[in-house]
Structure 1
């Protein structure tokens, strides 16, 4: 202050207070001249620069975030992006653009199949390879689609057998999962058992029946007993058995397969990969599901044997396990047992007894079909321990092949 008691103080009254100053020259001599205006101006200028810097940084951060999100949306929507590379060098890298071009933009006319989690399209790659592109749809299954994709890729990556479908490559993006498989020109076993025209399937004789049953059995035997990581398929049915150019059967669709560590475990629940848990999924398709699964049983090789037995009886009778004939608790297994062995002609499909290509007599053909039927009945026993293993099944069918060819 310039007045009051301060005006009468001498200069030495302020000694030791270096930070004190006087506003004008008329104030107490000995005090430095105050320069508050300049200092306040400098302080205000620094504050303004600091505020401007903070606002600019915040604005740039918002703009950067918006750009990243826009790019991310474009990457997910664009069919022109390369897919993530495979971890193994023997699978070619393929882009989503090429799959888009190969299938005509996944157009409806290229659709050759569908399931719970996606659709299968026929396509031709740039090198002329004809393929089936299995595209999984996240909208239908949510997070389970990604888990199903990883399960199937895990099985196909770890197994290799002539009676298992092989994978050409895979393609994955945040909203796009596809498995590229060889195109099976002869379709599925189901399409031959139940052709659209209602007539007998092409080439369906007794030798074909035995060969197809043997191919499926060999594929399952490998999965259960000889694969590097043992596999329980969990969804064996005619639509998941494909026929190649030579009419050889290959087992396909491992979307809910279960990888197990040690087949010696009592409950076979050891998971080799957390992605292979089948919790929350129906362990197969209606009519082919082992009865113990309905009681909370874990996926097992015995469950696959049951599904194989149902499919074998279905091939012999050409009756679906979900046929309207099987009502009020009656099953395909029970229906066959009712007629076995006194009235077999009523349940055996005619093409098998004709046996024109097998060059067998009717009596020989009848014996072969009966033995296959006995095998199917054994595989569909209600008690899992009572069922044979796939090694036993494979051996029995091999003996049938030898006897029918001699």
Structure 2
């Protein structure tokens, strides 16, 4: 930090206007700090690009890595401001081991910047669809089913365990980030809708990504938690097959993954021929694969009432993954985070308590129920050609 006395001393209160304010303060970060840690937003630090800005890698003075999303609100107008406010509003109210943590924000003239914990292994999309190009090893089945459970736990929390019920609306592999331990966290909360009664929210404009949109949402614009269940089912199919939700390079009868895979499910004997070519499953693994395939079929049922809730998905996936639990339910429910800590201190504490979930009580939610515009993924969107924005 170039001789400064740590992040804590460099953070300062900024005028937040009508933005939600984090309880505890000390989350407004000066632009000078962010310039220092990202090497003045250099090209070499770019992690990804999207329609709403660029994500940069940053390194704090103690070696802690962060990700900084930088948005030009002047060019974006109200869209950028709403997206920025939405992400802040949601992430002030939720904190979970399988949701990417927001560490702070910065308002600098026309710029809006959000600071997240860094997820060094990038996106699930990269590991499923670009692993050869990027020099990765293909994900094993155990890694894939663990990622599926992590995502299910994160979305279950959003739907029913947080202080309010939230609907993500843009669940897909490019919004699922992986740490060095290959554990997953759900990211990108700019499209999140609050469901006031825990069930549904009426939406007037379609937002999300083609290939992941539930039929009733595309037809009526009504958003329920079952919209996320459908998208989760699509992600499960991608995990199983290594194929994208929409693939124009495939013949017409196979280009739409859900339609094709649901035909595969009519006869379970077809499943071994449909799964990712990198698998060489033994009998136990194939049994596990078939259970996940069946769950994917249920999650993508045409009628929303036929789809399970995310708690059911967690219950199906949990036995397929080695069990781990917090030391006690009380610890999971009541553990809190002191937002007066510096960024590296907070991040270190969150990482140390990987198996606890917490939420911020009493944070301002004035923006949470606002109409939230579409936005791209946390990293450069793998599915730009199929986005419905």
What TM-score do the two structures reach when normalised by structure 2? 0.73
Q: Distance in 1 between matches of 2:126 and 2:55?
A: 15
* Farther-moved stretch of structure 1 (86-95 vs 159-168): 86-95
Shift in CA distance, 123/326, structure 1 to aligned 2, threshold 3 Å: farther
Task: Verify: 1:331 aligned to 2:251, yes or no.
Answer: no
Q: Residue 291 of structure 2: which of 366, 371, 393 is its match?
A: 371
- CA drift of 1:198 comes to 4.3
- CA drift of 1:201 comes to 4.1
Structure number with greater CO (CA < 8 Å, separation at least 6) is 2
What aligned pairs does 1:175-190 form with structure 2 within 5 A after superposition?
175-190=110-125
Equivalent in the alignment of 2:236: 312
- CA drift of 1:127 comes to 4.4
Equivalent in the alignment of 2:7: none
8 A Cα contact 2:169 2:191, kept in partner? yes
Point out the structure with max Rg over C-alpha. 1
Task: Verify: 1:347 aligned to 2:270, yes or no.
Answer: no
What TM-score do the two structures reach when normalised by structure 1? 0.70
Q: Distance in 2 between matches of 1:198 and 1:346?
A: 24
8 A Cα contact 1:82 1:97, kept in partner? no
Q: Residue 212 of structure 2: which of 288, 300, 318 is its match?
A: 288
Gaps spanning 5+ residues in structure 1: where? Answer: 1-79, 270-277, 355-361
What SS is found at the alignment partner of 2:278? helix
Equivalent in the alignment of 2:374: none
Task: Verify: 1:401 aligned to 2:325, yes or no.
Answer: no
Q: Residue 193 of structure 1: which of 110, 128, 132 is its match?
A: 128
Q: Deviations over 1:115-144 (max 9, x none)?
A: 221110111234432110011232553211
Q: Residue 304 of structure 2: which of 384, 389, 395 is its match?
A: 384
Q: Deviations over 1:245-303 (max 9, x none)?
A: 32210000001111222214xx434xxxxxxxx654x4211211112222132222000
Gaps spanning 5+ residues in structure 2: where? Answer: 1-10, 324-389
8 A Cα contact 1:206 1:351, kept in partner? no
Q: Deviations over 1:43-77 (max 9, x none)?
A: xxxxxxxxxxxxxxxxxxxxxxxxxxxxxxxxxxx
The CA RMSD measured in Å over matched residues stands at: 2.4
8 A Cα contact 2:204 2:221, kept in partner? no
Larger relative helix fraction = 1
Number of paired residues? 306
8 A Cα contact 1:307 1:380, kept in partner? yes
